[in-house]
Structure formats: structure tokens, C-alpha cells
Amino acid sequence: MSKKTPTTFWEKLGNIDYRWLYALSLVFTIIPILQPLGLPVQVSEPTIGYYNAIDKLKPGSVVAISFGSSLALLDEQEAQYLATWKILFQRHMKVIFYCTYADSALILQKHLGTMVKPSDYGYKYGEDYVWLGYAPLGEAGEASFAQNIRGVYPKDQFGTPLDQIPMMKDINDQSKIDLLIFCYTSCTDVEWPVRQWVVPYKKPTIVATLGCCGPMAAPYYPTQIQGFLSGSGMGTEIEVYSRNPGPGALMSDAKNLGILPFLLFFVLGNVSYLGKRFKWGQPKEVK
Amino acid sequence: MVLFIDLLGGLVGTFFIISVLSMLWKDNPIFRIGQQAIIGATMAHYILLNFKSALNNAVLPMLGGNLLLFVPLLLGVLMYTRLKDNVAWIARYPTGVLVGVGTGVMIAGTLRGQIIDQIKNTVLDLTKSVISSNSTGMINNLLIAIGVVTAISFFTFTHEHKGVLGASAKIGRIFLMISLGANWSGEIVWYLTQLIGRLSWIINTVIKVMLLGG
Amino acid sequence: MKDGIYLDLTLLITLIVAMWYYNKVALAGKLPPLRKIPAIDAITEGVGKSIEENKPVHYAMGASGGQLYTQLVSMTLVALAFLNYISKLCAKYGANLIVHMPYQAESIPLIEAMVRDGYKSEGKPEFFNPGCLRYYGYGALTWTQSVTASYDTEGVGLNLSIGIFYSDCPISLEMAKIKGGLNVGGTGRWIMCYAFAMMCDYVFLGQEIYVAGAMVSGNPQMLSGVFVEEIGKYFSYILLALGFVVAAMGVSAATAFFAL
Amino acid sequence: MILSYFTPYDVFAQFKGIATNWVVLISAVTVAMGFVYMTNAQIKIYQKNKTTLQLAYTVMTYVFFLAFLIAGLSFKGDVSSPEYQWWFQNVYGNVGATVYAVMFFTLASSAYRTFVVSSIEAVSLILGGMIYTLRQVPLFQVYTPWIVPLGEWFLLVPNVGGSRGAVIAAAFAALVVGIRTLWGKEVTLEVSS
């Protein structure tokens, strides 16, 4: 790197090799994994809105889940998903899962197959829930789904035509769907359900996304979306609020220490700047 | 009892996690092996998924009588003309279809979702807080409205940022900077979660359960 | 006509009329000058730096930057305009160009056409090297690693990153920075602009990529679009003001107004 | 597309449905082109650096390509088969998650460099960044509870104001590109032809 070599103490403080920051962060993140701290969390308004949007539906209402989740990002969202599936099944909603991202089917298979089995809640496939498989919908595909489900998913995940699935007999567009839960990983995708479901059909919609996408979802809450979950933090909140414990707790704990080395370097960077700016420790210039 | 296949999966996964993390230290063969392996893996995954999608949604329905689906398949195949210089021009036709559809989707969605609704929300939120005499809400929504107006003015390119426009752009820049900071903060905590997820998987699943049988 | 689209239609027609008008002004050569964007000059500076250090120029339009049929198609087109520009600069000054292509294979024909045209328009079509077009398979994770590996092994003089970026840019930009590259770039996706603002030496924030794209094209019709965008902003100010005026009559009146 | 947005006629809505299905299919058919370009780049990189290590790297790409392809084609259920999932979750899942974990480090080091109180803009950036970061950390939620409403205020007030303005400005630019494209005046597309 063609950088000027730091000479003064303050310059050195502002030019510490980044690898020290990396190493310290790694060590500090591991500590709470080995020894959890068990601190409580505060539940935020959008999480309560998210929960209430499901809670106020009558049992038997139809909930569509646009599942655009990525395996690589699952640590950030798994707590949200597991809690959501449990809430839906506990309240006996009829659920339509449709996967819009390549890895989503694998995640859903793992969730429904081993972690939150619908059969444990008395659910029967085809009558209480369906899984429409994967199609890379994009925004245009989401619009098509709202108009004609069979146009984008002629068969379910297992190759059965939708007409042969009892639950789907009368359902072919948004009109029979009571709530959309839009799960996504690309922040601006929040605009898709807003444009294709909320604006044209005024469909109640809640979204589940990554922590970084919270700021992009916030402007739509509560006028266009009734609630949102962003990141594992809100995943932990929904676990706590719905009393469905899950993987969110460990995540929240390890964040506590993992962030400290960064905070230390933030302080060092500013002390370095101020030291250079005000020439601390150097003899004052005589005018 | 841990199955061998699970243990192998755990070790393979751990190798790849270490491979990726090692790039932070410096370039090294473990990182490069992992990186090259993942190119091949994702390439195969991409091909499998899309060919399966084309087979189920076009080829099979076409064989079943929906002959119109031959058109998108043909357009897709025409894309490959790019590989041969003398016929590369043909690829512009399917490209044109893609861009045309994309542009249509974009225009229809942008008008209301990204412009009119954003302005509507700014107006309605402030109006509601004024009507309900919610002073905190009023101040907040007024600040949002000021943020919207001044941030838009920052993106003025036909006039220099001087005088009133300069002052407005300066205020807008402050709102924009806060927004950039807020976006950064949303991401850093998410990424920390990812780190925690992988480390806890290595410690709690691979080491404690698979290797130590705990 | 559907209900609830009159405002949309008014805006669309306003923009079309403005485009027609400014197009005429542009063709008559009467467009006023635009405010300068410093990051544009930094691109040429970066090409010079690359030649001086004997390192390549890297161009990235994002791991998912080849979207042609989605909402973000306009950003892909801007990224392609920049690709054409950087190809011309590299051809002109003899810099080595590496293009990190997005995973959307359907965008490859356009990408190759842009680079070839850049070399051709500088009269050096034989300098185009197909090996400079790098494809890394599906998704952001392989892309970010491969781009980092390329910085490591081939070095980085200038790293120009413009287009659709998701969570791929925080690694590619920071690694280019750590390896001593001059980072110039931006995205229209506001959510990711923070990474460019914090990691780039020169940044295009949000809309600036569109304006800069028009500027580097040097095409009067493209430049006239910047004036049309300004008309759009005036429209939004007017709509905001009208909204507040109508809102004085109550929330329902304002709601009805925006439902027009 | 645009007519289906503005008019109530079914024919345009149907056309929109067909067109949106078609583009997904066109895109799906083109994926193998990526393989051609990937191979081309691999060959060129090896030719530039003909070492055993580089050869091993290149071979690794194709070993994993074949491993995934075989796993995805040989078992019942294709990509949903347990065999394929084993590969996918252990390789792709872990690499993907770790790449995102790496970003924690790159974001932290970039903030160490840029989060310094050097100007009013930098202070705004720091406030927007640090307050909401601390709001998301349970430790600070518990011991400094005021950080929660303050963090949300930054998120929901100045952030919304700024980002709305930025989104509106970029939206106009995108619209102009769109209109220009449909008008046939988009220079990028002229170059490509």
C-alpha cells in the first residue's frame, strides 16, 4: 500500500493495522458463545405490529408467504422465520408457501421437515398448507402471482397440479388471500409487495427482512405495511413477544461483546484525529 | 451418535468457513482453493435451477401443446449468438425484449411507489399529527418533510449549490449523511450476526457435538 | 382508464413533454452547463495511476448488476454506459482492464458489446482481450471472493464500481482500498450508498450515477435527460405543496387527492 | 406493461403476465453462457500464470462443478435430494454465511477510518451510524435504555427524510432512462447494436 508511514503517536493511533481489529473482534465474539450472558431484550413497535397483523386474523384465514430467503443469510433471519411459522400454525391459519429465491426451498424443507413440523400442529398437507415450490419471480413475477397463481406456479413443490390440491381449489389470485408475509433479503424489494399488493389491492402485508433493510422498510410502516421484522434482533423480539423460544437469544447475547472492539477502535480513531487536529502533546507555537 | 456423513459435512463446512475468513489475513492457498471451489459449485447450482425451471415451465408445457412457449425458448437460445462474432448482432433482439419488459415494469412501478406515494406519506403523516395535536409527531413529521425537500435539492445539477439552494443542499446533505449512517448501522449488526452464527456452529455443533460427542 | 392513476399519468406526460423539449434544445446545442461532479475526473486520474503503477483497472457493476428485466434495469444501463467509457479510457491510454461481470448471464452480450465498442471507437479493437471478462457463477458470495482474489493476484490501480450493488460491495470496495487501489464508484440503490461513501475516494451518491453516466457519454440527448429529471423534481415540490394545501381541508381530502 | 398499469383492459394485463413469464424463461435458458465465459477466464488466468498451484485452483473449480452437477442430477428429487442438500448446505451455505461475516470486519475497519468528527457531515454520519448500532445491541438496550427511542428516532425521522429525498431523486432519473429507452434514444442500447 502506497501510504505515508505514520510518525507521531497520534498518527500511529489512527493507522493501527486493521488485522488487530479483526482479531480482537473474533475473540470477543467467541466469549459469549462459550459463556452466554442472558440479557433481556426490548420489543419494538414494528415487531408488535407484525405479530398483531397475524394475531387479529380469524383461524382458517389464508396467509401467503413469499419466501425469498437465502441460505447464506439464514443466521440473520432464522429466528424470525421459525417464530412466524409457529405463530401461524398455533393460530390455525391456512398457509401458502411459495419460494422466490433459489435456496429458499432448501430452507423451507429443513424448517417444515425437522424444526417446525406442521403435523405437530394437526396440519395436513394440501388442506391446511401448501408449498408451491420455487420460481425466480422478481417483481414482475410477484405481480403475476397476485393476478394468476397458476400462471407462475402451475404445480406445487411435489409436482401436483394446483387444481388437484383441495386447499387451492378456489384460490388463484390475491382476492382469497387475507395476509401477505413477504420474506426477502434485498432491501429495496420491500417496494415489490407495496407496489404489487398494497397499492393495487390494499392487501394487508407484513415483511421479514435483514437488519440492514430495516431503514428501507421503516418508511412504509405503518401506513402501507402493518409491521416488519428486520434482522436477528427483531427475530429475538418476536420469539420473546410470541413466547416461542428459538435461536435468536444466542445471537443477541454474542452481539454484546462482539461489537466492543469496534467501539474501542472508533474511540481510538477519534482520539487520533483530535490529537492531530489540536496537536496534543506538542509545544504550543509562539506567535 | 454422530453419523460419519454429518461429521464430514461439519469438517467440510468448517474448512470453507476458515477459508473465507482467512482472506482477511492475507492471500493464501486455503482461501484460493475455497474461492475456486465455490465458483464451480455456484455455477452448477445456477445451471441446475434454471434448466429445471425452463424444463418445468416451458419445455414440458410446450410438449403438452402450449406451442407459444417456443418463442421465449428460441429467444433464450438466440442469446448464444453473442459467442460468434459474425452473428453476435442477433443477441440484441432477445436483449431488447428483456430490457423492454424491465423498462415497462420499472416505469409502472416507479411512478407511484417511489414518487407519488413517498410524497403522499410525507404530507399525510404531517397532516395527521397536526390534526391530532401530537406535538412530538408534528415536529418529527415536519423534520421528515424538511429532510425530503432539502435532500431532493441536494441532487440539483442544473444550478450551482449557492445561495438558498446552497443552504438547502447543505441541510439536505446532513439528512443524507444520517441516513447513510443508519444504513451502515443496520448492516454492521447483521454481519456481526452472521459471524456469530458461523462461529457458534463451529463451536456448538462441529466441535462440541460432532467431535467431542457432547 | 383505471382509477387512481391520474397523478401518475400527469407525471409521465410531464416528463415525456420535457424530454421532447430538452431533446430539441440539446440537438440545437443550447443546453446550459451542468454542475461538475468531481468523481468523474477521478476516473481518468485512476486510469493514469494504474498505468503508472503497472496495475489493472477493475470495473465492477455488482454481483447482481446485470438485471435487464427488473425494476433496476435503468441502473444496469447506466453501469453499461460507464463500462463503455472506462473501456475507451483504457484503450486510449493503454491500461489493462478487468471486468468483473454480474451473475445474470443474460447481460453478458451487452457487457461484451460495450467493451468491444470502447476499444473499437478508440481505433484499437485488437487490444480487446476476451479474458478480461470474468464470470464467477451464481450469487454475491462467489463474486466477492473472486474479485478479492483478483485484487490480490493482479493488483489494483483503479477500482471503478458502478451499478446495482447489494451486500457485495462492502468487501470488494474495502479490499480494493486495503490493496491500495483508488476507489471510485456509486450506486442508485440508496441502501448501499453508505459503503461507497465510506470506502470510496470519490463517490457518486444515488442519482449522481445517472447524471454522471450522461456526462461521461458526452451525448447531448443523454445530457438533456438531466434537465428532465430536474423538471421531475419541480413536479414533486409542486405535488408536495398542493398536497399540503389540500390537506388544510382534512386528511380525507388529502387522501382523495393522492388517490387521483 | 405500461398500458396494463394505466388501463383496465384485460388484454394488457394478460400480455403483461405472458411477457413477465417469458423474460424469466429467456433468462433461464441463457445460464450456460456464463459457463462458457467462466471457462474462458479460467483458461486465460492459467495461461498468464502457469504454475502447479494455479492449475490446482482451476481444477478445483471443475471438481466442485461436477460434484454439484452430479449430485443435482443423479438422485431422486434433483436439487431437493438429501445428497444435493448435503453439498449445498455444507459448502454453499457456510461460504455464503461467512462472506457476510467478513463484511462485519470490512465495515468496522472502514468506520475506524471514516467515523472521525472532522466535519458536520461526518458527525451526522457518525450519529446516524453509532446510535442505531448501539440500539441493536442488548447490552446497551439494558444499561442505556434511552438509546432505544433515540435510535428509533434516528431511524424513523432524519433517516426517513433523507432516504425519501434520495429515493425520489433517483426515481426520476430511473424514469428518464426508462422513457428514453422506450423512445429508442438510449445510447447504451444503440452502442450494443
In C32-96, beta strands by DSSP E: 57-60
Question: What global pTM score does this model have?
Answer: 0.86
CATH number of domain containing C90: 3.40.50
Instruction: Test D125 with B177 for CB contact under 8 angstroms.
Output: yes
- Asked whether residue C136 falls in the same domain as residue C53, the answer is yes
Contact D30, C109 (CB under 8 A): no
Say whether residue B133 is in contact with chain C using an 8 A CB cutoff: no
Residues 61-80 of B with CB under 8 A from C: 79
Strand partners, C204: C186
Task: Read off the pLDDT of each residue in A167-196 and give the average, rounded to a whole number.
Answer: 91
Nearest CA in chain A to D1: A140
Interface test with A, best of D137, D150, D167, D168 (most A CBs within 10 A): D137
pLDDT at A121: 95
- Asked whether residue C130 falls in the same domain as residue C195, the answer is yes
Say whether residue B45 is in contact with chain C using an 8 A CB cutoff: yes
Contact A79, A250 (CB under 8 A): no
Q: C196-251: per-residue pLDDT in tens? A: 999 999 999 999 999 999 999 988 989 999 999 999 999 999 999 999 999 988 88
Q: Please determine, for residue A3, whether its predicted confidence score (pLDDT) is greater than 60.
A: no
Decide the pairing of beta strands C133-134 and C97-100: parallel
Instruction: Test D105 with A18 for CB contact under 8 angstroms.
Output: yes
Task: Read off the pLDDT of each residue in C164-185 and give the average, rounded to a whole number.
Answer: 94
| Chain C residues within 8 Å of chain A (Cβ atoms) | 53, 64, 69-72, 138-139, 141, 166-167, 178-180, 189-192
Grid coordinates given for B162: 449557492
Residue closest to B193 by CA, chosen among C192, D100, A229: D100
Task: Read off the pLDDT of each residue in B172-199 and give the average, rounded to a whole number.
Answer: 91
The residue segments making up the domain with residue C63 are 38-217
- Asked whether residue C193 falls in the same domain as residue C66, the answer is yes
Question: Which domains can be identified in chain A, with CATH numbers?
Answer: 45-250 (3.40.50)
Can you say whether residue B20 is alpha, beta or left, with left for phi > 0 and alpha for psi between -120 and 50 degrees? alpha
Instruction: Among D5, D160, D168, select the one facing B114 at the smallest CB separation.
Output: D168
Instruction: Test C206 with D166 for CB contact under 8 angstroms.
Output: yes
> Between D16 and A2, whose confidence is greater?
D16
Contact C58, C181 (CB under 8 A): yes
Nearest CA in chain D to B108: D2
- Alpha-carbon B115 to chain mean position: 21
Q: Please determine, for residue C112, whether its predicted confidence score (pLDDT) is greater than 90.
A: yes
Grid coordinates given for A148: 394468476
Task: Give the integer Cα–Cα distance in Å for C160 and C182.
Answer: 8
Task: Read off the pLDDT of each residue in B150-169 and give the average, rounded to a whole number.
Answer: 94
pLDDT at B165: 94
Say whether residue D37 is in contact with chain B using an 8 A CB cutoff: no
CB-based contacts of B59, cutoff 8 Å, min separation 6 = B69, B73
Instruction: Test A75 with B112 for CB contact under 8 angstroms.
Output: no
Q: Please determine, for residue D193, whether its predicted confidence score (pLDDT) is greater than 60.
A: no
Instruction: Test B155 with D165 for CB contact under 8 angstroms.
Output: yes
Grid coordinates given for C121: 471507437
Interface test with A, best of B196, B203, B205, B209 (most A CBs within 10 A): B196
Instruction: Among D29, D101, D129, select the one facing B185 at the smallest CB separation.
Output: D129
pLDDT at A216: 75
- Asked whether residue C188 falls in the same domain as residue C91, the answer is yes
Contact A179, A54 (CB under 8 A): yes
Q: A22-81: per-residue pLDDT in tens? A: 999 999 999 888 887 777 777 888 999 999 999 999 999 999 999 999 877 888 899 999
Grid coordinates given for B191: 454481519
- Asked whether residue C85 falls in the same domain as residue C192, the answer is yes
- Asked whether residue C12 falls in the same domain as residue C136, the answer is no
User: 3-state secondary structure string, chain D?
Assistant: CHHHHHCCCHHHHHHHHHHHHHHHHHHHHCHHHHHHHHHHHHHHHHHHCCCHHHHHHHHHHHHHHHHHHHHHHHCCCHHHCHHHHHHHHHHHHHHHHHHHHHHHHHHHHHHHHHCCCCCHHHHHHHHHHHHHHHHCCHHHHHHCCCHHHHHHHHHHCHHHHHHHHHHHHHHHHHHHHHHHHHHCCCHHHHHHC
**Residues C88, C93, C94, C98, CA torsion sign:** negative
Q: Please determine, for residue B1, whether its predicted confidence score (pLDDT) is greater than 70.
A: no
pLDDT at A94: 97
Task: Read off the pLDDT of each residue in C48-55 and give the average, rounded to a whole number.
Answer: 96
% of chain C with per-residue pLDDT over 90: 82
Task: Read off the pLDDT of each residue in B174-203 and give the average, rounded to a whole number.
Answer: 91
ipTM, two decimals: 0.89
Grid coordinates given for C107: 447481460
Q: B121-148: per-residue pLDDT in tens? A: 999 989 988 888 888 889 999 999 999 9
Q: Which chains touch B (3 or more CB pairs under 8 A)?
A: A, C, D
Instruction: Among C166, C180, C190, select the one facing A186 at the smallest CB separation.
Output: C166
pLDDT at A285: 63
Say whether residue D130 is in contact with chain B using an 8 A CB cutoff: yes
Interface test with C, best of A184, A188, A202 (most C CBs within 10 A): A188
Q: Please determine, for residue A106, whether its predicted confidence score (pLDDT) is greater than 80.
A: yes
- Asked whether residue C111 falls in the same domain as residue C234, the answer is no
| B187–chain D nearest CA distance, Å | 8
Say whether residue D68 is in contact with chain B using an 8 A CB cutoff: yes
Q: Please determine, for residue A1, whether its predicted confidence score (pLDDT) is greater than 60.
A: no
Instruction: Among A41, A73, A219, select the one facing D164 at the smallest CB separation.
Output: A219
Domains in chain C: how many in total? 2
Q: A250-279: per-residue pLDDT in tens? A: 888 888 889 999 999 999 999 999 998 888
Instruction: Test C71 with A188 for CB contact under 8 angstroms.
Output: yes
Grid coordinates given for B56: 418445468
Instruction: Test D6 with C190 for CB contact under 8 angstroms.
Output: no
Residues of A with CB below 8 A from C190's CB? 216
Q: D21-53: per-residue pLDDT in tens? A: 889 899 999 999 999 999 999 999 899 889 999
Residues of A with CB below 8 A from D115's CB? 266, 269-270
Q: Residue A178 — pLDDT band, cuts 50, 70, 90?
A: very high
Instruction: Among C35, C69, C254, select the one facing B157 at the smallest CB separation.
Output: C35
Instruction: Among B50, B179, B196, select the one facing A255 at the smallest CB separation.
Output: B196
Interface test with A, best of C68, C69, C167 (most A CBs within 10 A): C167
- Asked whether residue C18 falls in the same domain as residue C103, the answer is no
Residues of C with CB below 8 A from D40's CB? 130-131, 133
Say whether residue A261 is in contact with chain B using an 8 A CB cutoff: no
Q: Please determine, for residue B209, whether its predicted confidence score (pLDDT) is greater than 80.
A: yes
Residues of B with CB below 8 A from C70's CB? 102, 105-106
- Asked whether residue C124 falls in the same domain as residue C250, the answer is no
- Asked whether residue C200 falls in the same domain as residue C226, the answer is no
- Asked whether residue C205 falls in the same domain as residue C230, the answer is no
% of chain A with per-residue pLDDT over 70: 97
Residues 35-94 of B with CB under 8 A from D: 36-54, 57-58, 68-69, 71-73, 75-77, 79-80, 82-83, 89, 92, 94
Q: Indicate the average pLDDT of chain C.
A: 93
pLDDT at A2: 46
Instruction: Test C145 with D189 for CB contact under 8 angstroms.
Output: no
Instruction: Identify the burial level of C118 via C-beta atoms within 10 angstroms of its C-beta, where 0-12 means exposed, 13-18 middle and 19 or more buried.
Output: buried
Residues 125-164 of D with CB under 8 A from C: 125, 163
Residues of D with CB below 8 A from C205's CB? 166
Strand partners, A66: A98, A182
Task: Give the integer Cα–Cα distance in Å for A223 and A221.
Answer: 5
- Asked whether residue C42 falls in the same domain as residue C126, the answer is yes
Residues of A with CB below 8 A from D139's CB? 37, 39, 255-256
Task: Read off the pLDDT of each residue in C71-79 and give the average, rounded to a whole number.
Answer: 93
pLDDT at B139: 94
| D178–chain C nearest CA distance, Å | 6
